[in-house]
Amino acid sequence: MQHDEITSYRKALAENIYSCMELSKQSYLDICYMPIKRFHDYLKWKTDLEDARQKEMEESSKRKRR
């Protein structure tokens, strides 16, 4: 069971690293050198920011159609 949890954590971490690279346009090493707390906080903040931008664009698009 612990092996499965470790494997799952590694997979999620790798996906988060690549997501962070895409969102922040930073290199793999820059992301890996971040303290883990800062990494998770940054990823959450950037994801929330991108969601807010997307929502604002959709609302703007709806207003233009009227």
Cα distances (angstroms) measured from residue 1 to each of 7, 8, 14, 39: 10, 11, 20, 27
The whole-number pLDDT of residue 65 equals 74
| Total-model pTM | 0.69
**pLDDT value of position 55:** 93
- Tell me the residue type at 27: S
Total domains in the chain come to 1
Owning domain of residue 11: 2-65
CA distance 8 to 61: 39
Q: Averaged in consecutive runs of 10 residues, what is the pLDDT profile of the chain (66 residues)?
A: 88 92 91 93 92 91 77
